[in-house]
Amino acid sequence: MSRAWRFLVDQWLEWPRVDYLLSLPGLLILLIPGVGKTASDLTLAVATVAGVLLGMTGVIITIYQAGEGPRMRALRSLAGGTTRRNWIAILAGDIIVCFGSLLALASSDAAPTLAVGGCGYAVGLLTWRTTRMVWIVHSYLALADLDSLDKSGGLTVRDDLQQR
């Protein structure tokens, strides 16, 4: 990975609020002809996906907090502020998408264009926050594998699961 790309990713991880701006292209959904006719189905689907991701986020945070290896403990103590900001941003983003989609669902009959626009923005926000979550989980798994490698003398978490 180039240094410039790594710098951009580090800045993105450091400033979760940027996701609100990066989600604006989701409003382009309004350009699709006839999308207003499916506003209620679309908003309900987005709210459902956000709810599922919200549940997954809670499970992942619990697993992260339960990590006992030296690298996971170091991550929690050294990068605690950044990690906390990212997890709160992911949780808040999922909650915003859920409530926003449900509000759009309630207004889909009266103002379908507004509902679809809100849903498009919610999809954009959900996409960025999910990308953030996958990036962080990937980092956690890499650390957990290294910690497992130290304990087992050669097996990683994935190798251990495959042997069972």
Tens of pLDDT, residues 18-37: 888 888 888 887 778 877 77
Residue 163 lies in a domain: no
Q: What is the mean pLDDT of residues 153-158?
A: 54
What single-letter DSSP state applies at residue 154? S
13 inside domain: no
Q: For residue 4, tell me if it sits in a domain.
A: no
Q: Is residue 8 part of a domain?
A: no
Using alpha carbons, select from 78, 68, 73 the residue that is nearest to residue 151: 68
Domain of residue 83, residue span:
40-153
Q: What percent of the chain has pLDDT above 70?
A: 90
The token duo for 106 is: 């309630």
Question: What mean pLDDT comes out for the span 111-123?
Answer: 85
- Is 107 a domain residue? yes
Q: Does any domain span residue 44?
A: yes
The radius of gyration computed from the CA coordinates of the chain, to the nearest angstrom, equals: 19
Nearest to 39 by CA among 121, 111, 96: 111
Side chain identity at residue 83, one-letter code? T
On whether residue 65 sits in a domain, the answer given is: yes
User: What is the domain count for the chain?
Assistant: 1
Confidence of residue 153 (pLDDT cuts 50, 70, 90): low
- Is 92 a member of any domain? yes
